[in-house]
Structure 1
Amino acid sequence: MKVKIINKSHHPLPHYATPLSAGMDIRAFLTTPVELKPLERKLIPTGLYIALPEGFEAQMRPRSGLAIKHGISLLNTPGTIDADYRGEIGIILINLSNEPFVVNDGERICQMVITAHSQVEWQPEESLDETERGAGGFGHTGKQ
C-alpha cells in the first residue's frame, strides 16, 4: 500500500527496521531539546503529515526500549491518526519515571503501525444473546 507523506523534518522517512516489523520508528523534530520531568507530559512534533486511504488508521505506540529503560510512554496509547487528518503528527510523551528525561532532535520516540479498521452501524435491541461468560468482567475468572 502506498501512503502519501510530507516530511518537513530533516530526518529520514519512517521505515521498517526488519522485514517482519509491524511498526516504524517515529522521530522527534525539535529545534531545542525538550526535558520531561517526572510525571510531566508534552506534545512532541514530528514534522510528518500523512494521507491514509479510507478504512485505515495509523496507531502511535510506545517504544519498548524507552519504556523499560526510562519510563517514557505515550499518554494516549495507542494514539490514532485518522484517514481524514492532514495536520502534523504530534506525539504526547509522558515521563512515568522518577528522573527527568531529555528528548533530543531525531530521537526515536514512538512507533507507528498502519492498520485497517471498520465502522459500525448500531442495531438497537432490547436484549442480547446469552454466552457462557455473560456479564462477567474484570477478573471474573479468578486465579487459576
Structure 2
Amino acid sequence: MNIRIINNSNHPLPSYETLLSAGMDLRASISEPITLKPLERAIVKTGLHIELPGGYEAQIRARSGLAAKKGIGLVNAPGTIDADYRGEIGVILVNLSQDEFVVENGERIAQMVIAKHERIEWEEVSELGTTERGSGGFGSTGTE
C-alpha cells in the first residue's frame, strides 16, 4: 500500500528498521534542541504530513529504548492520526525521569504504526448479554 507523504524535514522518510518491524521511527524536525525537565512535556514536530486512506489510522507510540533507558514516553500513548488530518505530525513527549532530557534535531523520538480500523454504529438497548465475567473489572479476574 502506498501512502502519500510530504516531508518538510531534512531527514529521510520513516522506514521499517527490520523486515518484520511493525513501526517506523519518527524523527524530530526542530530548529534548536528542546530540553525536557523532569515531568515536563512538549510537542515535538516531525516535518511530516500524511494522507491516509479512509479506514486507516496512524498510531504514534513510544520508542522502547527511550522509555527504558531515559524515561521518555508519550502523554497520549498511543496517539492517533486520523485519515482526515493533514497537519504536521507532532509527538507529545513527556520526561518521566528525574533527569533533564535534550531532544536533538533528527533524533528518533517515536514509532508510527499504520493500522486498519472499523467504524461502528451504536444499537441502543436496555440490557446487555450476560457473561461469566459480568461487570468485574480492574483486576477482578485474579492473578493466576
TM-score clears 0.5:
yes
Matches within 5 A, 1:99-118: 99-118=99-118
Aligned length: 144
Matches within 5 A, 1:64-83: 64-83=64-83
SS at match of 1:66: helix
TM-score by length of 2: 0.99
TM-score by length of 1: 0.99
Match of 1:62? 62
Post-superposition offset of 1:141: 1.9
SS at match of 1:49: strand
Cα distance in 1 for partners of 2:63, 2:116 equals 21
1:97 aligns to 2:72 (yes or no): no
CA RMSD of aligned residues (A): 0.6
Post-superposition offset of 1:112: 0.1
Matches within 5 A, 1:3-42: 3-42=3-42
Cα distance in 1 for partners of 2:54, 2:9 equals 26
Deviations 1:18-55 (A, max 9, x none): 11000000000011100000000001000000000000
Matches within 5 A, 1:127-142: 127-142=127-142
Structure 2 unaligned regions, length at least 5: none
Cα distance in 1 for partners of 2:100, 2:58 equals 29
Cα distance in 1 for partners of 2:23, 2:141 equals 33
Deviations 1:34-85 (A, max 9, x none): 0000000001000000000000000000000000000000110000000000
Cα distance in 1 for partners of 2:43, 2:82 equals 18
Post-superposition offset of 1:119: 1.1
Cα distance in 2 for partners of 1:10, 1:143 equals 49
Post-superposition offset of 1:120: 1.0
Cα distance in 2 for partners of 1:92, 1:139 equals 29
Q: Between the two proteins, what is the percent identity of the paired residues?
A: 62
